Amino acid sequence: MTSGTIYGVGLGPGDPDLMTVKAHRLLTGAKHVAFFRKAGRSGRARQIVEGMLPTGVIEFAMEYPVTTEIPLTDPRYNEVLSEFYAKCTAHLRELALAGEDVVVLCEGDPFFYGSFMHLYTRLKDDVAVDVVPAITGMSAAWTATGAPITWGDDVLSVLMGTLDKETLTKRMLDADAIVVMKIGRHLDKVRDALRTAGKYDRAWIVQYAAMEGQTVQKLADLEGKVTPYFSIVIVHGEGRRP
């Protein structure tokens, strides 16, 4: 019997129209799909493909045992997640070895800060894994601002809001164009770092880029909190242009 393939399919930023032709074909022909979600939620990746999966598709929801309840620095965080990924992987491996193809639904681009990577590294030596790249959330965010992110020789740095303020500030100072993701509870720190780096007035915040409810505004004009998972800060490069 021939083994099946695990497809790590990037769905892009959210708008199904921004999915690749390949992702669309794999999805609409899938017999098995798998996706991550928080317990009690429908799952963002699964939401994107709502109405697109064929009748009778077999769904495997991989429910995170923990997200923010245990601090990242606690060794238990890694243990619990590692066990979880091993369990998910075991099921996917079993399906592939039984000859089944499985489409794993991934938000954004699978190899760019994605959860699929944790399955990929555990599966790639045992079964065929095909990773389908996709438009990143940051591409959707800079497109939404209506201005190019990088010109000429601009240096683009992609930063996580979870970094400490000193690192954020230094990297912001050194970059021409900046993307900050994973903002959520770190918004005040990100604002402070941008101010110290002298780039606060040029910063934009895009929420729900290429999704329903997309908002685009200067960060300085933002009042209140941001959506924890779908907020991206953008500072455009100002490089060479004729």
State the residues that interact with a copy of itself by CB under 8 A. Answer: 12-13, 16-22, 24, 72, 77-79, 81-82, 85, 109-114, 117-118, 120-121, 124, 131-136, 139-140, 142-143, 146-160, 162-163, 167, 170-171, 174-175, 210, 240-242
Distance, in Å, from the CA atom of 4 to the CA atom of 137, rounded to the nearest integer, reads: 30
Of the pair 82, 99, the CB lying nearest a copy of itself is at 82
Select 58 or 147, whichever has its Cβ closest to a copy of itself. Answer: 147
Indicate the SS3 state at residue 148.
coil
Contacts by 80-83, CB closer than 8 A, 24 or more apart: 81/118
Residue whose CB is less far from a copy of itself, 58 or 218: 218
Which of residues 13 and 43 has its CB atom nearest to a copy of itself in the complex?
A: 13
Single-letter residue type at 235: V
Query: How many angstroms separate the Cα of 99 from the Cα of each of 24, 32, 45, 128, 176?
Result: 22, 12, 25, 11, 49
Q: In the numeric block, which tokens belong to residue 151?
A: 């010109």
- CB of 128 vs a copy of itself, minimal distance in Å: 12
State how far the Cα of 195 lies from the Cα of 236, in Å rounded to an integer: 15
Minimal distance, residue 90 CB to a copy of itself, in Å: 16
Q: How far is the CB of 32 from a copy of itself (least distance, A)?
A: 21
Report in angstroms how near the CB of residue 82 gets to a copy of itself at its nearest: 4
